Homo-oligomer: A and B are copies of this chain.
Amino acid sequence: MSEAREFKHIGQRTIRPDGFDKVTGKANYGADLSLPGMIWGAILRSPHAHANITKLDVSRAEANPDVLAIATFEDFPSVNAAAQRDGTQRDGMMDTACNILANQKVLYHGHAVAAIAARSEAAAIAALDLIDIEYEVLRPVLSIDDAISAQAPILHETMMTQGLAEPATKASNISARMELKKGDIEAGFAAADVIVERAYDTPTVHQGYIEPHATTVVFNENGPSMIWCPTQGHFDVRARVAQLLNLELGQIKVVASEIGGGFGGKTTVYLEPVALILSRKSGRPVKMEMSRGDVFRASGPASASQSLIKVGAKMDGTITAMQATLHYEAGAFQGSPMGPGCMTVFTPYDVENLYVEGFDVVVNKPKVAAYRAPGAPQSEFAAEMAVNELAKKIGMDPIEFRLKNAAKEGTQTIYGPKLKVVGLEACLEAAKASPHYNAPIPENVGRGLAAGFWFNIGGQSSVIINLNPDGTGTIIEGSPDIGGSRASMQMMAAEILGVAPSSLNPIVADTEHVAYNQTTGGSRTTFATGMAVVEAAEDIVEQLKARAAAMWNVTAEQVDFKDGVAHNLTGEDQLTLADICASAEKTGGQISGRANINARGAGPSFAVHICDIKVDKETGKTDVVRYTAIQDAGKAIHPSYVEGQFQGGAVQGIGWALNEEYVYSKDGIMENAGFLDYRIPLASDLPEIEAIIVEVPNSFHPFGVRGVGETGIIPPLAAVGTAVAEAIGQPISSLPCSPPKILKLLMSAQ
């Protein structure tokens, strides 16, 4: 990959193919499909954070003439037999089932218990009152400290901590322990001149996608049943529902609707299997929607965390050792992103001695889901805060300190591979050269800087490109578009085929019309599905050459294809792609390109953010006055979308750092389950986020793509935290830096 490579479409800011439908309201989201004969489902949710269900009698509801079907945990046939709570090894499917409809026990406020389908939404909601349910309320576990204390109620009697040196002998709220190490951590700290050690914590936060979960389904006992829903991975919706309802994959068709935000939170199932049970029982299409309150209380927020960080360095700025103990809340069922949290925490640094220990802890909150670079913002927040504190202690500029220790080609990661060419140094240099970093810090303003790392991933993608007889065509892909990937696919295919991007319509096909694609997440889509698009387009180019050769009576090797035109190398003849398509009938039928891949070679992504924050010392209110996000995209296929990803990640990280948090009462009742009380940053709250695209190509992708979706949410936590600390002259160790907390810090310092 030469950096001087010239592109015709890639790197341009083309018109987004989904834009018109979205701005005109024509795009159909999760709640936008209604079907003839459709009925509505509603869910009875737990008012308690932790309780045994002592009675569940649906007979009065069943007798209601408006009620056409009722679903409970008993309706998961394949997990039901295995789900005797006290006698079975826990497994993911059972947890998923128990999270979707509680089995004998509710584990968080809002936990679904039963569902009713009725002739109208109002009737379904009203009929919930006819379910006779009684609870034995238990003490809730609402924090990591509480969960791991000896006195804590145990959420799951069968949960034994995995990953201990000695097998666990009794049930625990810690589901798993993980340990990663490199070098000699003791020797590393012994070699340090200065050591910073501090505990940090981050709150439960929500992805805050604007579109609530919703689904419309039709059960078909013969043909495939249909599920329509907004999801980042309709193939995984299919797999999960098939497993829960004991169906073959071919018996379910999932259609990914347009999606109003996911950010990792739309990678699992809540309503879909329930709706399908209700449809099966009623013989009717069923629609279900979550309210905003349901979304907050009972979808999958991001883990709250506690991190103990210890970093040592020599006075010359060389970091000698880094150590972390990380606790992640999993919510009611095991499975936090503790693993990637441990793997990413120190990866921006090329340090010889590392030690990381992580714990996955269950609490009486909703089961967490992925949220942009899952696990990384929490752990890297802590690490970056400590690094900044250390840099300050030894009197080094935070960029210089990072440049001295920056991860680079050849750095041995704590989790396995050595890094290939990466762009952290380039990002740090770009930060150093940025107008923002070179601007003086205004009065009453603190400036913070932080780095971030995310792996990016590859994985399985399948693509078909169909050309029409007039040379227009469709790109049939299976990656739901949460960040502009349709535009990227269009541009990459257009680049290879030498046609206008707008002549190729990118379509996110349902699970029947394209082969398996992994979920959109991990920043895999533009990389991996993009590779599949390129391969499918190259497959077409080979066919175009063969077809032109047949028309010219030469061999395919005697044909060159460039910028959409085939050239007969034995003469002067030329045929455009459209010419060849128009004649395809005569040369063997119309043309389709195909690619099924499991993409390897994802390019790690680094970012550096700079944040200026002004703090009102009377009220503790914070204002971001300037913000710059610098990130290595590898290659920005569509720069506007890339900038949008940088900006969106920054904004979500800023919200996480400054204001967002789940507020629970002592009984475990979520008290701020709405956008009025759960405070995400609005456009009016923030300055324009300055986006600087660094391009250090990923040599494993034909155009150099790394993926840009995740990393941008990582640096803001520490950039903001450091900026606030600088502004108030106090260390920050707990997010969010909300006005009450800031005020408390300011007052305690007086």
Residues of A that sit less than 8 Å from B by CB: 17, 20-21, 26, 32, 34, 36, 220-224, 239, 242, 248-251, 460-462, 464, 466-470, 472-474, 476, 503-505, 507, 509, 512-516, 532, 584-586, 588-592, 594, 596-598
Contact = CB atoms under 8 A, between A and B. Distances in A.
A507 B503 contact: no
Given A462-B592, A505-B223, A589-B461, A249 B469 contact: yes
B585 A589 contact: no
A236 to B, nearest CB: 11
A599 B140 CA distance: 69
A513 B589 contact: no
Contacts of A20: 220-223
B467 A592 contact: no
A418 to B, nearest CB: 23
Contact of A592 (B250, B590, B596): B596
Contact of A596 (B220, B221, B588): B588
9 contacts: A242-B470, A249-B470, A250-B468, A250-B505, A460-B589, A507-B512, A507-B513, A515-B591, A585-B598
Given A250-B468, A467-B515, A589-B598, 7 more contacts: A17-B223, A34-B36, A249-B469, A250-B505, A515-B592, A588-B596, A588-B597
Question: Would you list the 3 A-B pairs with minimal beta carbon distance, nearest first?
Answer: A250-B472, A20-B222, A516-B590
A711 to B, nearest CB: 25
Contacts of A251: 472
A221 B19 CA distance: 12
Contacts of A476: 512-513
A509 B34 CA distance: 22
Contacts of A469: 239, 249, 516
Given A461-B589, A513-B507, A592-B515, A220 B26 contact: yes
A242 B468 CA distance: 12
Give the oligomeric copy count: 2
Given A34-B36, A249-B468, A598 B594 contact: no
Given A249-B468, A462-B590, A597-B589, A512 B516 contact: no
B585 A460 contact: yes
A462 B588 CA distance: 11
Nearest to A588: B598
Nearest to A218: B26
B473 A250 contact: yes
Contacts of A588: 596-598
Contacts of A586: 598
B590 A505 contact: no
Nearest to A503: B250
Contact of A589 (B462, B473, B592): B462
A30 to B, nearest CB: 15
Given A26-B220, A462-B590, A248 B503 contact: yes
A466 B589 contact: no
A589 B459 CA distance: 8
Given A249-B468, A468-B516, A515-B467, A21 B505 contact: no
Nearest to A33: B36
Nearest to A36: B34
A461 B470 CA distance: 17
A21 B460 contact: no
A591 B598 contact: no
A479 to B, nearest CB: 13
A307 to B, nearest CB: 34
A224 B475 CA distance: 13
Nearest to A223: B21
Contacts of A460: 585, 589-590
Contacts of A509: 513
Contacts of A505: 223-224, 250, 512
- Which of the listed residues A468, A504, A584 has the most CB atoms from chain B within 10 Å of its own CB? A468
Given A249-B470, A473-B250, A222 B585 contact: no
Contacts of A220: 20-21, 26
A732 to B, nearest CB: 43
Contacts of A466: 462, 512-516
A472 B596 contact: no
A251 B26 CA distance: 16
A494 to B, nearest CB: 13
- Which of the listed residues A249, A470, A584 has the most CB atoms from chain B within 10 Å of its own CB? A249
Contact of A474 (B36, B513, B597): B513
A585 B235 CA distance: 14
Contacts of A584: 516
Contacts of A221: 20
A611 to B, nearest CB: 38
Contacts of A462: 466, 589-590, 592
A536 to B, nearest CB: 10
A535 to B, nearest CB: 10
B470 A248 contact: yes
A195 B590 CA distance: 50
A181 to B, nearest CB: 29
Nearest to A462: B590
Contact of A21 (B21, B222, B250): B222
Contacts of A503: 248, 250
- Which of the listed residues A250, A514, A586 has the most CB atoms from chain B within 10 Å of its own CB? A250
Contacts of A592: 462, 464, 514-515, 594, 596
Contacts of A17: 223
A250 B589 contact: no
A597 to B, nearest CB: 4
Nearest to A19: B222
A250 B514 CA distance: 19
A590 B596 contact: yes
A582 to B, nearest CB: 11
A464 B464 contact: yes
A608 B26 CA distance: 56
Nearest to A463: B592
- Which of the listed residues A32, A472, A591 has the most CB atoms from chain B within 10 Å of its own CB? A472
Given A222-B21, A467-B515, A249 B591 contact: no
A289 to B, nearest CB: 16
Nearest to A466: B515
A263 to B, nearest CB: 25
